[in-house]
Amino acid sequence: MLEQIKSTTAFIQSKISFQPEIGIILGTGLGGLVKEINIKHTIPYEEIPNFPVSTVEGHSGKLIFGELGGKSVVAMQGRFHFYEGYDMLQVTFPVRVMKFLGIQKLFVSNAAGGVNVNFDIGDLMIINDHINLFPNALIGKNLAELGPRFPDMSDAYNSGFIAKAKQVAAANNIKVQEGVYAGLTGPTFETPAEYKYMHAIGADAVGMSTVPEVIVARHMGIPCFAMSIITDLGVAGKIVPATHEEVQHVAALAEKKMTLIMKELIKLI
């Protein structure tokens, strides 16, 4: 795997002369952030050796390099989900490549179902911890060059970034929730009993991404920040059939707020 990471990194570096300091995974709700990036280079995933190709509707695949909030960034437009059939090495491969390209911080977004009774559809949630219900992305031989066999997860979501993001939200009159994200495989949305179970075990929101990427980033020592858009509710009495279209629709409505927080946070840190 190390050889693949190195050869993919070398390929990208042969195409561009640019050293990113921040990596961004433009999940649901952050598509608009691309418009804020002063783009220097774009590389479609299909041109990048060893990169999987994204298949999900609403996600197109490219790496975007440019300036945002005075920082040099690399943004993944389109991510790889476990439910698409990629294995965990493939799902997290781009994060490892971004580390080798030089990133020192990772910013991530997603859509999630709210299981906290105080949440509303359209809320933004700053993720302050996660519950991993995927197979762990680090199962397999550990590569000491990447990180330790038994990585610490006590500060999976950087507390300094969380504090600054809350300041940015308050300064811009944006309501934000904060909570625990449970990551599970999908592709089914949860049954009412499963939503109840997620709440019972300590989750505030549930989704199908982010956790593998953050685990792999933390393995390599990268501080992470992640936010969810609550696109549907798994709260007793408020459960309605969940659809991909509704998730995309609600996410589009909340996108401006999430984009602003991410952009201002990147400026600040």
Select 28 or 92, whichever has its Cβ closest to ligand HPA.
28
Which residues does residue 43 pair with via DSSP β-bridges, in sequence order?
Answer: 63
The CA distance from 175 to 151, in Å, is: 33
Select 21 or 194, whichever has its Cβ closest to ligand HPA.
194
Select 5 or 250, whichever has its Cβ closest to ligand HPA.
250
Residues whose CB falls within 8 Å of the CB of residue 177, separated by 6 or more in sequence, listed in order: 116, 118, 119, 123, 124, 125, 126, 204, 230
- Residue 255 found at the interface with ligand HPA (CB under 6 A): no
Site for ligand HPA in 197-236 (CB under 6 A): 206-208, 231-232, 234
The CA distance from 82 to 256, in Å, is: 27
Among the residue ranges 84-92, 109-117, 127-135, 159-167, the one whose residues contact ligand HPA (CB under 6 A): 109-117
The CA distance from 27 to 139, in Å, is: 24
Among the residue ranges 29-37, 41-49, 106-114, 121-129, the one whose residues contact ligand HPA (CB under 6 A): 106-114
Least distance from ligand HPA to the Cβ atom of residue 18, Å:
33
Q: Out of 190, 204, 213, 255, which residue is the one contacting ligand HPA (CB under 6 A)?
A: 190
Q: Between the CA of residue 69 and those of 23, 41, 175, what are the distances in Å?
A: 13, 17, 22
The CA distance from 20 to 38, in Å, is: 13
Q: Out of 26, 146, 247, 254, which residue is the one contacting ligand HPA (CB under 6 A)?
A: 247
Summarize as ranges the residues that interact with ligand HPA (CB under 6 A).
111-113, 186, 189-190, 206-208, 231-232, 234, 242, 247
